[in-house]
Amino acid sequence: MRKWCIFALILLLCAAWGGGSARSCLAQSGGAALAAAGQPPAGAASAAAPSPPWYQRPLPPLNLSRWTLGLFAAALALLAGAGAGCAYLLYRSGRRALRRIGRVARNAAVLADQAASRAALIESPLAALIRALRQRTGPELQAAVADRLSEPAPPELQAHYASLGQTIELLEWLGAELTMAECLGRGLDLYYRNQPARALAYFEKARRKAEQVKKPHCLPWHGMGMCLARLGRRPEALAALEEAVKLSGSDALVWADHGSLLAQMERLPEALASYDRAAALAPSEGAVLRERGRILALLGRDQDALAVYEQSLSLAPGQPELWHARSRLLNRLGRTADALAACEQATSRRPDYSEAWLDQGRMLRKLKRPGEALAALDRVPPGDPLRGKALFLKGLLLADLARFDEALLALDRVVETEPGSTGLWLARAGVLRALNDGPAALRAVERALEIQPGASGAWQIRGEILADLGRDGEALLAFDRALAIAPSASVRQAQIRLLLKLERYQEALPLVEQALAADPQAEFWKQKGVVLDQLGQPDAALTAFDRALELEPDSPEALCLKGFILAELQREDEALALFDRAAAAAPDLPPLVWETMGRLHLERNQPEPAQKALERAVQLTPDSAEAWTGLGKALLHTGRRAEALAALDRALRLQPGAAEPWLWKALALIGLERFEEALVALNQAVEIDPHCRAWHIKGMLLADLNRNDEAIAALDKASELDPRNGEIWFYKGKTLYELECDDEALAALEAALRCDPDSQEARFYLGIILQERGLLDQAGAAFAQVLENDPGFSKGWLFQSNLLRVMQRPAEALAAIDRAIGADPANSLAWYFKGILHYELRDFRAALNAFENAIALGPEVGQFWFYKALVLGGLGLKEEAVAAYARAHDLEPGLVEAWALKGCLLAELGRAAEALAACDRALEIGTESARAWFYKGYVLCRLDRAAEAIFYIEKSLQLDPDDAEAWNLRGLIHQQLGRIDKALHSYYQALEVDPDSDEAHYHLARCWALQGNKAKSLEHLKAAIRLNPANLELARSDPDFEAYRGDPDFEDLLG
């Protein structure tokens, strides 16, 4: 036994020697593979002589001598029974190692040959990856990864990435430590092989390596984000991509992928912001612009989306999806012809684009071009999911062309695949009826009613077909059912035609006369009244109903029929009295009676009784669109807007093709402040009936929303339809004023006053325009007339006060603003303007009280807080002023002067760091604001940093050379720095801008005193004291005038 153990030990030592040989051989072969890929093996020394290019280096032969000895030792072990298993395992391991070495070496050689043989590949991302592996640095690899991370690699490059991945696998197998670039390359390979989980591990490893060297890079985070997104881990993916954009905020691709992920998470505003950043960084990138346009369209910003699509198409006109997206957007905006042109561009670039062909067919049908529409629909191939829709539309087009046999064939093909479509069966019934196949058409309609029993149109078509077949009784029942579901004009017309066919009123009249002669009962008189009314003889019909009521005074039927005729004759009071009598006699009146009563009450501006009548109507006929519309109107008149909206929606579900419910729905939505939805409803109304008054309401709404160009277009249309409507002209004038078209605005307002001389709002806006034109007296007359007619018009007093302020009549302005506050104490603007008036009069206490009242009414208005801060500063309450400025810029972050003046006060309080931070913030917001630069200079000057301050003052003067205060501060800084000549120049510039600047005169007096020029010094000091007596006390203690103490002229000047 001992012998066998010793023998086995010897064999193991031999095997280990052979394994080491194999490892050495493997390292040599692996080194050859790396050399072929452009990377020297680890630890290899640099050659003294230049080596040939990596793709020309031959593979070194494998040295298998020591390996052979290992195999020989294993063969001896086979002769010994105890060592046979070990030898066999070593043999298998060696064979695998050899095969692996050969395979990797071949891959590396193929990689090198491909890279060398194709010149285009030398500059490809793959070549960059290979060079990065050779150099062991990574920047080129990172750039290549970024270039290919989001877009799928072309097939020819995917093979190269796979070969590269095997080369990196070899590095790992050899135990080499991968660089960040190699980890990124391996991750990219796995990402393209749809192995995101494995790719994620390599990107994380790349991230860790970047962190180890304390040089974080965006590419690992970018790769991690894309892998996590593909794995469905969106929150983690978003976090990774946000890290990527932090590290490389100038990489458009990273921002685009960030936006794409946010869009997938339905965070559209944030997605739009990311695409905005991407578009700013890569303005010519078509894919980025396309996605940005899609997000804008989803957010309802159609015009912005359209502009983006057009910009993208100008950069990349060959993208069919982009043309199709633009086409759909244009079609939604009602620009069918433009939409069709865009759709044709899409199909020309992608002939198999079925969805675009289907949309093209729809638009061509809408444009009455059926032949081209048929050709477009035929381009949707069999087997396509959209083929059924294309055939259905084709059937309708063929029916439009009276090619009924072909239409029937097309519809039958769709029925085979979609037998549950009500519209399809009804279309088929219409074609069969046109082919005079009544029984088959009836079967098709009954099939549609089995699917959807509540389809009003199906019941109407059934009634018409039954009438064609002579089954009049059934036809009447079908029409009744259709009217019960959704009354419509077409159903009523069909029913009237059938009733005329059955009753034959001309022939019925003499028969009714004969019956009355024989038996003058009330029923015959009622029938006669109906016939006469149908024959267009309302007066004779009223006489017949009167005779019926003589016989039956409380007959509800006679009362109602007579009431209908009186309502048609616009004798509303008499009609309502008859309806009330009928309701008292029989509360279960027909629904039409209650609808008529409701309509009449609304016309008489009696919303409460109208509401009761219409509620009864919809109880009796819940499928009456007219009843629901009337109820909606009544509820709207009583201020119950949400209920009114629900009623009008019900009416539109029953009768979507009626303009009136859309109009009243828009009014309800306006009352609920849902303005965009209201515009949609108004657009529907004018599309159905271009002559309805929805243009008027649409124009007013758009004006209130400050969408002035659209408002003018709508109001122009409204004024064409109703030129005597003063309200239309007023809104037109007001909107034109907002657009700064003063001449047109004046003309429109004058037209409004011609139509309605009592329109105070028109006269008020007339006064505003006259004031802005400098015609102050005429403006004052207009305001005076407005206030004479309406002394409680707070806004009128407010503008009257402002006019008096402009005319430098402050006492009258204060009286007017007090009248405005008296008329409306809750008018925050009136308190605000009162504060400004007191501030200008330097009455800071009264101003502070006014601004505090304004803030109590409007605490979220930044301007109120800003002026309060000014007043507090004037009162010397600096800490309170700083807090007020802070509140102002918190509410309105773009309020530059709030930041800047806050900085000035902080400087005066000795809080230098905060002061400078506030001024820097002001400059960030208002780079082009001269005052922001001025206040930063002022703060630096206060902090005894005059040399730095001069730069900011010079910048301020570049932006506003007419700022006397800036020139004075410039002079003061130069004076502090001992540059008296420059100081003098600055002060004289200040006087040139503002000759009454007492500050400039005072500083000139100081400068000339320092220069020893007594005459000029005293001249300017005298002017400074004249302009501002406070300068007298300053001069008494100013050390710059020390040389003049005791001088008679100086002492006389000081008194």
> What is the pLDDT at residue 175?
55
CATH C-level class of 791-859: mainly alpha
Compute CA distances 377 → 336, 393, 653, whole Å: 17, 8, 30
CB atoms within 10 A of CB 179: 19
> What is the pLDDT at residue 508?
47
> What is the pLDDT at residue 514?
56
Compute CA distances 264 → 229, 240, 260, 1039, whole Å: 10, 16, 6, 73
Token pair, residue 135, equals 């150099």
Which one, of 29, 185, 21, lies nearest residue 103 by Cα?
Answer: 29
Quick: pLDDT tens for 200-219. Answer: 888 888 888 888 777 777 88
Scan for tokens 């991370």, then name that residue: 149
Token pair, residue 15, equals 């095997």
What homologous superfamily is domain 431-503 in, according to CATH?
Answer: Tetratricopeptide repeat domain (1.25.40.10)
- Residues 499, 505, 507, 512, CA torsion sign: positive
- Whether 12 has a pLDDT exceeding 80, the answer reads no
The CA distance from 313 to 1, in Å, is: 87
- Whether 88 has a pLDDT exceeding 50, the answer reads no
Quick: pLDDT tens for 904-920. Answer: 888 888 888 888 888 88
Helix axis angle, 84-117 to 65-79, nearest 10°:
150
How is 274-310 classified by DSSP, letter by letter?
HHHHHHHH-TT-HHHHHHHHHHHHHTT-HHHHHHHHH
The CA distance from 933 to 954, in Å, is: 9
Quick: pLDDT tens for 998-1042. Answer: 888 888 888 888 888 888 888 888 888 888 888 888 888 888 888
Quick: pLDDT tens for 457-484. Answer: 888 888 888 888 888 878 778 877 886 8
Quick: pLDDT tens for 297-306. Answer: 788 888 888 8
As a whole number, mean pLDDT of residues 526-548 equals 81
The CA distance from 386 to 381, in Å, is: 9
User: Which helix or strand (DSSP H or E) is residue 842 part of?
Assistant: none
CATH C-level class of 590-688: mainly alpha
Compute CA distances 848 → 189, 833, 864, 898, whole Å: 70, 12, 10, 17
The CA distance from 43 to 37, in Å, is: 17
Do residues 688 and 662 make contact, with C-beta atoms less than 8 angstroms apart? yes
Scan for tokens 């806006």, then name that residue: 765
In the chain, the N- to C-terminal Cα span, in Å, equals 133
The CA distance from 891 to 146, in Å, is: 41
List the chain domain ranges: 2-41+59-117, 431-503, 590-688, 693-779, 791-859
For 43: left if phi > 0, alpha if psi spans -120 to 50, otherwise beta; the answer is left
3-class SS of residue 1012: coil
- Give percent of the chain above pLDDT 90: 0
Token pair, residue 591, equals 């629904």
Cα three-residue angle 75-78-80, rounded to 5 degrees? 125
Query: Quick check: do 693-779 and 791-859 share a fold?
Result: yes
> What is the pLDDT at residue 81?
46
- The radius of gyration of the chain's CA atoms, rounded to the nearest angstrom, is 45
Token pair, residue 407, equals 């239409």
Which one, of 862, 854, 861, 850, lies nearest residue 813 by Cα?
Answer: 850
Do residues 994 and 1007 make contact, with C-beta atoms less than 8 angstroms apart? no
> What is the pLDDT at residue 41?
35
For 978: left if phi > 0, alpha if psi spans -120 to 50, otherwise beta; the answer is left
Single-letter amino acid code for the residue at 52: P
- Whether 129 has a pLDDT exceeding 50, the answer reads no
CATH C-level class of 693-779: mainly alpha
CB atoms within 10 A of CB 825: 12
Token pair, residue 909, equals 């309080």
- Whether 680 has a pLDDT exceeding 80, the answer reads yes
How is 44-80 classified by DSSP, letter by letter?
PPPPSSPPPPGGGPPPPPP--HHHHHHHHHHHHHHHS
Token pair, residue 452, equals 């959807």
> What is the pLDDT at residue 42?
35
> What is the pLDDT at residue 513?
66
- Whether 346 has a pLDDT exceeding 80, the answer reads yes
> What is the pLDDT at residue 505?
67
List of residues 6+ apart from 477 with CB closer than 8 A: 463
Helix axis angle, 456-468 to 472-485, nearest 10°:
170
Quick: pLDDT tens for 257-290. Answer: 888 888 888 888 888 888 888 878 877 776 777 7
The CA distance from 446 to 871, in Å, is: 82
- Provide the total of helices (H) and of strands (E) in the chain, helices listed first: 59, 0
CB atoms within 10 A of CB 49: 4
As a whole number, mean pLDDT of residues 110-117 equals 40
The larger pLDDT score, comparing residue 107 to residue 855, is at: 855
Do residues 229 and 237 make contact, with C-beta atoms less than 8 angstroms apart? yes
List of residues 6+ apart from 302 with CB closer than 8 A: 296, 329, 332, 333
Which one, of 972, 976, 998, lies nearest residue 985 by Cα?
Answer: 972
Task: Please tell me the least confidently modeled range out of 117-121, 730-734, 1016-1020.
Answer: 117-121
